[in-house]
Structure 1
Amino acid sequence: MKKSEFINLFADLADDAEIDETLASTELVKGFINKGLTLEAFKGKLKEKEFKDFINGEGGKDFEKRLKEWKKANLEKELEPFIQEKYPDLVTDPTQKKLLELEKELEKERKANARKDLITEAIKYATEKKIPTSLVENFLGEDLEKTKVNLDSFVESINPWVQEQVDERLGASSWVPGGNGNSGAAKSLGAQLAEELNNSGKAEGPNPWA
């Protein structure tokens, strides 16, 4: 059928007219029907295992082809952030390597500044609580609140020991206020306790700022 013949079929039809009957009267459509090439026939074929397997096989080929094309175009781009984060040594692009190194340095500097600020705040807290400030870095946590918890826990656990040391020194000391005493009495009890606290104040466990 020529294009002009096909157009002439609809020349006299209104814009909203159905064209099914007009098409059905053409030799082309009659030929399709005679050969069984109808929508209903196709639906019936889909119920046949052999035909269904054929369609699925063709669809699988198309899917594999499209997947291969997608991988080629997008996979490297999709994996790039993961590779940069987990395996920076595998990055070969010079510009990317410089950016990664710069990001690493900036992150290192950020952590150092954060640690410095945390120490400053922790020292203020220790001073308020009359905790030796030399112990602060040994009890740093991930943030100020956790650092406060660490310092408070230390003080709570050390208080019984401090009281025991005070009792022992008061009981064993022969020094009397106003008396001559001995050379060891020159160092006050408070100074001795602070010194022992400094010597014993070693925090255990992983350092979050290492």
Structure 2
Amino acid sequence: MNLEGITSYLEQNKDNQDVREFVNGLNPVTIDRVKDFATVNDDGRNWLQSQKDSFFSSSLDTWKKNNLDDVVMSKVKELYPEETEEQKRIRLLEQKLEEAEKKEKRETLRNKALSLATEKELPASLVDYFLGEDEEKTIANLAKLEETFNPYIESKVEQRFKDTGRKFQKGSGGDISIGETLAKELNQKPNVETKLSNPWG
């Protein structure tokens, strides 16, 4: 029987147990053959890589499930260690001191603003609404109030005079605006909470 006949016979009887054992005995599976298949053959190399990836992913998921919480908590404790009672007391004292300093700074700023408002003849009751983050911003806010307040009051008074048929004239020989006069009157009322209302509707 020639090689072609043997090949044909083996192909026809490939399901036969004796034939399978015979063929496997001719070319047994060895470590070297597996290594060659996994490193030289493209299909073998791709299969082995997919097995590695699958194993790595599974191992990583298991590790995360069993260890990640502990690692994270350990790192958190390292970065933010728990306060001792003494550290907690110090932190609370520092917070109170900071709040007191802020309050004192705001009160100083408010007193400065009240002084400036009185000097500019602006209503003291509006000062709290125009306090800024610092003295510079507070002064700028009060300047805007002054620019808006006095002309607004004067225009309202002038319109009221026109509606009644009289001519509008500034008080005190025209040196002091009606807005300044009203503000001065409001500021001179002691211990009375001033609420501005529009007397002209």
Q: TM-score, normalised by structure 1?
A: 0.46
Larger radius of gyration between Structure 1 and Structure 2: 2
